[in-house]
Chain A
Amino acid sequence: MLGLFDNDYGSDGFRQCSVTGLQIHQSVEKYVKLFALTAIVALLYGGIFALTVAMTRWEVVGLLDAGDFYTHLSLHAWNLLIFWMIFMEIAILYVGGPMVLGRKLPLERVAQLGWLTMVAGALLVNYAIWTTSAPDQAPLLTSYAPLPSDPLFYTGAIVFLLGATISALPFFTALWFEKRENPGQTLPLVTFGAFITAIIAVEAILGGLAAFSYALAWRIELIGSIDAALYRQLYWIVGHGSQQINLVAMIVVWYFLTHVVGGAEIVSEKVSRTAFILYLFFINLGAAHHLLSDPAVSTGWRIFNTSYAFYGATFASLIHAFAIPAGIEAGRRKRGLGGGLFGWLTGAPWKNPIFSSTIFSIILFGFLGGITGVLMGQLQLNMTWHNTLATVGHFHATVVLGTTVAFMGLSYFVIRTMFMRAFISPKLASIQPYFYAGAMSIATLMLMYVGILYGVPRRTSEVVENIPGTDFSLAAAGPLFNVFGIFALLAIAGGVLFLVIAVGSVLFGKKLEPGDNADLTPDGLVYPDGGDVETADVEEEGNPVHTYDMRGTFVLCLIFLGAFVITYVLNWYLLSQLWQIGA
C-alpha cells in the first residue's frame, strides 16, 4: 500500500536498524506503523475539535452554542485522550516487546483482529456522540451516570477496550516466548517498562469494562437504577488508569529516545526498575484523586489512597525525574560530549526534533503536570481544583505537554527509521517542538490560573462573559482568557504543523537508504553501519556509568524541588484564606 510498509528485509524477514542497532522483523514493523498511523489519524480528527472547543471557551469568539459545544468537547476528549493515545501505546508495546527483543510479532492475525476491533469501537463511539439525541446527553469523557448517554456509546467504549486487550496479546506472547527461550535472562529496561505499562493497562481495562457494562445494563433497563458513587469509582479505574498508561508509556519512550538520539545510559538498573515496580503497585490508586471532593467515599479511604499509596507513585516519578536526565548526563560525559555543569545538555542535539520533543516532554511534564497532579491530589487542596479549569490545565500539562509531545517525538523517530522517509522540511521539523510546546505551555498555564484564581468551571460553554439569567459573571478572568485564546490558537497551529510534517513526510518524503540516518545518532553511540555497540571503543575505555558526574542533573532536580515547594506553599496559603469548611 503506497509503499508504506516496504523496507529492505533479508530473506529471513529481518533488517538491522542503523540508528538503534536493533534486528527488526517486518511483521513487527508493519504493525507498529499501522497503529502509529491510526493514532495520527485520531490526533488529526480530535485536533479539529481542539480548535472549536478552545474558541468557544474564549468567549470573545464564542464559536459554538451550548448543544454543539458539549458534542465537540466529547469528540475532542475521546479522540485525543483515548484513541490517539491508546493506538500509539499499542505501537509502543510492539516496539518495547518484540522489536527490542529482536523477535517476530507472534499471533499476527490477533494483532490484525485487535486493530480492527479497536477501529470499530472508535468509529462506534464517534458515531454515537455525533448522533446523540434526547434524553441522552453528550457523554464528555466521563459519561457520569445517571445522566444518560446513547447505548451505542457504551457499546463502542466496551468494543474499543476489548480491542485494546486483543491487541496486547501478541505483546504478552512475545514476552512469554522470550522468557521460555532465555530463562533467567533479565528483560531490557524498555521491555520491562512496556510490560509494566501493559499490566496497568489490563487493570484499567477491567475497570472500564465493569463501568461501561454497568452503565449500559442500566441504560437498556436490564437493571432498574444506577448508583452514581459506585459508577464514579468504577469509571475512574479506567478514566485515570488510561492516563497512567499514558504516563508509564511516556516514561518508556523517554528512556528509549534519550538513549537512541541523546546517548543516555541507565545510571542504575536497580533504581529505575524499582520505580516501575512502585508504579505497578501504587499508581492506579492515584485515581482516587478524582473522588476527593465526593460525598460517598470515607475520609480514611481518601487519605489512604492519596497519601500512603499515591506517594509511592509520586516517589517513583521523582526517581525517573533524576534517573533520565542523569542518564543523559553520564552517557554524554562518558563520551566526552560536553563538560562543565551543563555542557552535556547545551551540547545536545537540540535541532533534532526527536531529541527536543523528548526533553520538552520531560521538563514540562514534571514542572507543570507532575507538580499540579500532586497538589490536586491533596485532600484539602482538591476542593480548590476540583472541576475548575485548573484541572483541565493539569491534564493538558500531563497528556499534551507530556505524553503528546513525547509521542510526537516518537512519531518523528518512526518516520525517519521505520518509514525511512526524510522530513519534507527538516527546518520546520526542527522548529515544531519549540513552537508547539512553547505555545501550549502558556495556554496550559492560563487554564490553571483562571481555574485557581477565578474559580472558572470546566465543562461549560460560557461563564466569563455571561451566565444566563444573572448579572453575575467571572468577567475578571477575561484578560487571562484573552492570553489563553491567542496561545491556544498558536498551539493548534503548532499541532497542524506536526501533522503536515508527519503525514507529508510519510507520503511524499524522500525515501532514505540505510545509512542515511547517521545524523540522528549521538556522536559515538551507535554506529551508522549498524556495527555492534558492544565492541565500540567507548565501551572499553568507559568506567561503570554510575561513577560519572551527575551534578548538572542534581542542580536541575533541586530547582524542580524548589518550584514544587513554592507552588505547594502558595496553594496552601490560598486555601487557608477560605472560610471554615468541613468537620
Chain B
Amino acid sequence: MSSPLKPPEGNWWDQAVNRRESIWLGLGVIWSLVLFGWMSIWTRTGDQNPIGETYRVTEAEFQEKMAAYKDAAEETEQGLVPDDTSVYMAGVRFAWDGAPVVLEADTQYDFHLSSYDVQHGFSLRPEATLSKQINLQILPGYEWVVPMTFDEPGTYHIICNEFCGEGHRSMHDTIIVTEAA
C-alpha cells in the first residue's frame, strides 16, 4: 500500500509511472509552453501590451511638466486639447489632473501617467462598451509613458481602482475621443 502517511518502501524513485499519468505530464508541458509562447509572441505582434518607458520623477517635477503641457494645450468647453501627441495625466486624491482631455481617433498618443501623492489605479473604458476596459497601476515617483491609439470615437471613462483614501469612490473623469480629422 502506498500511503502518504508512511515512508515509501523500496526504490520508489524507479517505480514505473502509469501510462495515462505520463501522457498527462506531456500535455501539461505542452500547455505550459503554449501559455508562454503565446504571451511572448503577443509582446511582439499584439496590439495590447502593458509596456512603456518608465522614468523616475518627483511629484514636483511632474507638476512642472504638467504645467508646461497645460500651457501649450488649448482649453475648450469639453476639455484640454493637447498641443501634440503627448498627454499628461496625474492621480491626486481624489481627481485626475490633466482630465478631461479631448483626443482624436486613430492618432497614437503617449500617455504620461503619474501621481502627486499616493498609489492610484487608472481604469479606462468607453461608455458604449463596458467590457472593453484596461487597468494600469499608477505610482508616485514614477512617470510611465504608455502609447495608446483609440480606434473608436466616444466618451471614455477613467475610474480610480486603487484605494487612495475615503473619497476614492468619487475619483472619476473622462477622455473624449473625436472622429479622426
> Residues on A close to B: CB < 8 A?
20-22, 66-67, 70, 100, 137-138, 140, 144, 146-147, 185-190, 193, 227-229, 232, 255-256, 259-260, 265-271, 291-296, 299, 303, 306-308, 311, 314-315, 318-319, 322-323, 326, 330, 374, 378-380, 382-388, 452-455, 457-463, 467-470, 472, 474, 476-477, 533-534, 536, 538-539, 542, 544-548, 550-551, 553-554, 557, 561, 564, 568, 572, 574-583
- Given the known interface contacts A379-B39, A582-B50, the answer about A326 and B121 at a Cβ–Cβ threshold of 8 Å is no
Instruction: Return A320 CB to nearest CB of chain B, in Å.
Output: 11
> Residues on B close to A: CB < 8 A?
1-8, 12-13, 15-18, 20-21, 23-25, 27-29, 31-33, 35-36, 38-40, 42-43, 46-54, 108, 113, 117-119, 121, 123, 125, 127, 130-144, 146-152, 157, 159-170, 172, 174
Instruction: Return B162 CB to nearest CB of chain A, in Å.
Output: 6
- Given the known interface contacts A229-B142, A265-B1, the answer about A315 and B29 at a Cβ–Cβ threshold of 8 Å is yes
Most buried by B among A66, A462, A477: A66
Taking CB atoms, residues of chain A closer than 8 Å to B17 are: 267-268, 270-271, 546
- Given the known interface contacts A265-B3, A382-B50, the answer about A474 and B130 at a Cβ–Cβ threshold of 8 Å is yes
| Contact present for B157 and A472 (CB under 8 Å) | yes
| Contact present for B49 and A546 (CB under 8 Å) | no
Decide if the interface of chain B is mainly helix, strand, loop or mixed. mixed
| Contact present for A457 and B161 (CB under 8 Å) | yes
- Given the known interface contacts A70-B166, A380-B49, A580-B108, the answer about A388 and B135 at a Cβ–Cβ threshold of 8 Å is yes
Taking CB atoms, residues of chain B closer than 8 Å to A260 are: 5
Taking CB atoms, residues of chain A closer than 8 Å to B29 are: 315
Most buried by A among B4, B47, B147: B4
A-B contact count (CB 8 A): 312
| Contact present for A576 and B140 (CB under 8 Å) | no
Taking CB atoms, residues of chain A closer than 8 Å to B118 are: 144, 146-147, 228
Taking CB atoms, residues of chain B closer than 8 Å to A291 are: 137
Kindly list 10 other residue pairs between chains A and B, CB separation below 8 angstroms, not including A147-B165, A468-B170, A550-B21.
A146-B117, A259-B5, A269-B13, A314-B35, A315-B28, A315-B29, A452-B131, A455-B130, A459-B168, A577-B131
| Contact present for B141 and A580 (CB under 8 Å) | no
CA distance A514 to B32 in the complex (A): 48
Taking CB atoms, residues of chain B closer than 8 Å to A292 are: 50
| Contact present for B48 and A307 (CB under 8 Å) | no
| Contact present for A546 and B15 (CB under 8 Å) | yes
Residue of A nearest to B133 (CB): A455
| Contact present for A379 and B43 (CB under 8 Å) | yes
Taking CB atoms, residues of chain A closer than 8 Å to B140 are: 146, 228
| Contact present for B166 and A67 (CB under 8 Å) | yes
CA distance A404 to B99 in the complex (A): 43
CA distance A20 to B6 in the complex (A): 11
A-B contact pairs, 22 of them (CB 8 A): A144-B163, A147-B119, A255-B4, A259-B3, A265-B1, A265-B3, A303-B39, A303-B40, A318-B24, A323-B21, A383-B135, A454-B133, A455-B130, A459-B163, A463-B169, A477-B130, A579-B132, A579-B151, A579-B152, A581-B146, A582-B147, A583-B52
Residue of B nearest to A299 (CB): B51
Taking CB atoms, residues of chain A closer than 8 Å to B53 are: 583
CA distance A229 to B11 in the complex (A): 49
| Contact present for A470 and B31 (CB under 8 Å) | no
Taking CB atoms, residues of chain B closer than 8 Å to A576 are: 46-48
| Contact present for A269 and B15 (CB under 8 Å) | yes
Contact of B139 among A294, A326, A378, A564 (CB under 8 A): A294
| Contact present for B49 and A550 (CB under 8 Å) | no
| Contact present for B134 and A383 (CB under 8 Å) | yes
CA distance A131 to B35 in the complex (A): 46
Residue of A nearest to B174 (CB): A472
**Top 5 nearest A-B pairs by Cβ distance?**
A455-B133, A457-B161, A295-B144, A582-B49, A318-B28
